[in-house]
Amino acid sequence: MITAPQPEAVEAGTAILRAGGNALDAVIACALTQGVVDPMMCGLGGLGVLHLLDPARGVHTVIDGLSVSPLACRADMWADRFEGDCPDGFGYIVRDNLNELGHGSVTAPGILRVLGQAHTQYGRAGWASLFDPAIGHAEEGWLVRPHVATMFYLDERAYGRRSYLDKLAFTGDGKRIYVRPDGMPKRLGERVLNPDLAATLRLIAREGAETFYTGELARRIADDMARHDGLLTLEDLAAYVPEVREPLQVSYRGRTVAVPPPPAGGIMIAEMLRILERFDLVALGHNSAAYIQVVAEAMKLAGRDKERHIGDPRFIVPPLARLLSDAYADECAAGIRAGERTPLPRVGAEPKHTTTVSCVDSDGMVVSLTHTLGLPSGVIPPGTGFMLNGGMNSYDPRPGRAASIGPGRRRFSTMSPLIVLDGGTPVATLGAPGGAWITIALTQVLLNLLDWGMGMQEAISAPRFSATSDAIDISNRIPRETQRAVEAMGYEVRRSPASYPFGGVHGIAMWDGVLDGGADPQRDGLATGIS
């Protein structure tokens, strides 16, 4: 079974499973197709985190493909251009948007080396065969879906960021591929053709991922950067190495939840679960005012601790033992019971434009991948057809902070593809796009599964809320009576107009060996199984 936000990508992964490929093969084919049919969410120029459990090999690992800042970066290089935090908490405002749009915003992409390395170690199908569906969509065209159309027309100037039209039209290639003759992005139902990307995918299928880092593609990227005063160099690309990490594991209600460790966002989920295990959540009532208050305060505690302690672990050692200790969880839970409130002006620096895929195969291999462009930079190296990430927006322009700019630093990311185990046996896997909402969305779906016993689709579709700042944001499907009760506790409550806001969770449950998939109605995708 495979689940993802794009029907074309799910179809690609399903075809690989039917042809005898394993879960990793299917995830790679799905991810490559996602980069074609969801080009502002992810792609060859992006970054990601892959979580793999292979019981047959006895392997349980996380491959961290988060992007790395160029070696030319300096901590103070944009300090005099810093204008403030983006008001919605997603990134930092730098004068002229140098950290978001254009060649100076690009970091060393990690996703393709992750896919190549993982396939060499754990794949079954031939590497080149995994590219066929993506090549077909790039060459023959794909239709703009509702969520893609929403992103194409997104204008984030109110938050200090650029419109997506600025990114789509930043290069001549981008205008040709994505922009209509009237100067506006392609509309819902219109076809997108990208023969340059088809050629690039054929090159990688033939020569392997290394062409992107040390071969022809690397030279084309580096030459384009040099022509436009970009920071990224051939040296940065060649030096990029994915980090293989042990999953971070915590116990919750008798099960083990395995998440990616820092600089990925799993620590936030782990901390929330440790705190929430101290409460009888079922007795509070699902999404009751009391439930929202307890869970929201756990969210804010995890957000505060992330801001204080979590960055690139090579430069800032995270105090994981303390944050996940019984004593700290007890202390936090006691504070919540006493009515203490954690101030959290913002949780920052994580763009919400991401995608995910999870897959389980007949041999029990479980793979979950979340990947992104961060904020798309708008930069399409000439003739390649793919856009590079704008990952520099995720680094704090102010020196001396956990997420400050520096040479060769891995960015923090809330991306947290996770696996739940019961007695060592995998029973669920989840992933989500959504920036700072990723961890709060995944945690709520975990509570729905493990505390409330919901099926996967019900757990994903249930109304969610968010506390990534001092205010509590709620889904439009949470009753107004509940909103008034939370406001009576003294909280500012902001009602979203959306029925399915706050992350886009996709997952598969495996209770008693029966596969049960779910896809977030917020996006365009589905879960598909084969017999």
Catalytic center residues:
354
Question: What is the per-residue pLDDT for 239?
Answer: 98
* Two structure tokens written together for 506: 């996709």
**3-state secondary structure at position 157:** helix
Q: Do 520 and 508 form a contact (C-beta atoms < 8 A)?
A: no
**3-state secondary structure at position 64:** strand
* Two structure tokens written together for 185: 């992005």
Question: If you write DSSP's letter for every residue of 297-332 in order, what string do you get?
Answer: HHHHHHHHHHHHH-S-TTTS---HHHHTSHHHHHHH
Question: What is the per-residue pLDDT for 412?
Answer: 85
Largest CA distance in the chain: 62
Question: What is the per-residue pLDDT for 160?
Answer: 83
Q: Do 265 and 438 form a contact (C-beta atoms < 8 A)?
A: yes
* Strand (E) or helix (H) holding 472: strand 472-474
Ordered domains of the chain (ranges, CATH): 2-244+356-394 (no CATH), 245-349+415-522 (1.10.246.130)
In angstroms, rounded to a whole number, what is the distance separating the alpha carbons of residues 90 and 352? 7
Question: What is the per-residue pLDDT for 352?
Answer: 59
Question: What is the per-residue pLDDT for 349?
Answer: 44
**Model confidence over 425-484: pLDDT tens digits?**
999 999 999 888 999 999 999 999 999 999 999 999 999 999 988 999 999 999 999 999
Q: What letter would DSSP give residue 421?
A: E
Per-position pLDDT tens, the chain of length 531: 999 999 999 999 999 999 999 999 999 999 999 999 999 999 999 999 999 999 999 999 999 999 999 999 999 999 999 998 887 667 899 999 999 999 999 999 999 999 999 999 999 999 999 999 999 999 999 999 999 999 999 988 887 889 999 999 999 999 999 999 999 999 999 999 999 999 999 999 999 999 999 999 999 999 999 999 999 999 999 999 999 999 999 999 999 999 999 999 999 999 999 999 999 999 999 999 999 999 999 999 999 999 888 888 888 889 999 999 999 999 999 999 999 999 987 644 455 579 999 999 999 999 999 999 988 999 999 999 999 999 999 899 999 988 899 999 998 899 999 999 999 999 999 999 988 899 999 999 999 999 999 999 999 999 999 998 899 999 999 999 999 999 999 999 999 999 999 999 999 999 999 999 999 999 999 999 998
Residue reference for tokens 């209509």: 180
* Two structure tokens written together for 193: 């053709």
Cα 285–290–296 angle (5° rounding)? 110
Query: Which of 453, 458, 454, 467 has its CA nearest to residue 520?
Result: 458
Question: What is the per-residue pLDDT for 315?
Answer: 86
Question: What is the per-residue pLDDT for 351?
Answer: 52
Question: What is the per-residue pLDDT for 89?
Answer: 64
Helix 23-37 with 7-18: angle, nearest 10 deg: 150
Question: What is the per-residue pLDDT for 321?
Answer: 96
Q: What letter would DSSP give residue 97?
A: G
Q: Whole-prediction pTM value?
A: 0.96
Q: Do 464 and 441 form a contact (C-beta atoms < 8 A)?
A: yes
Query: Which of 90, 98, 97, 94 has its CA nearest to residue 79?
Result: 94
**CB under 8 Å to 394, separation ≥6 — which residues?**
91, 349, 350, 351, 374, 403, 411, 412, 413
Question: What is the per-residue pLDDT for 400?
Answer: 92
**CB under 8 Å to 44, separation ≥6 — which residues?**
35, 109, 111, 112, 200, 204, 212, 386
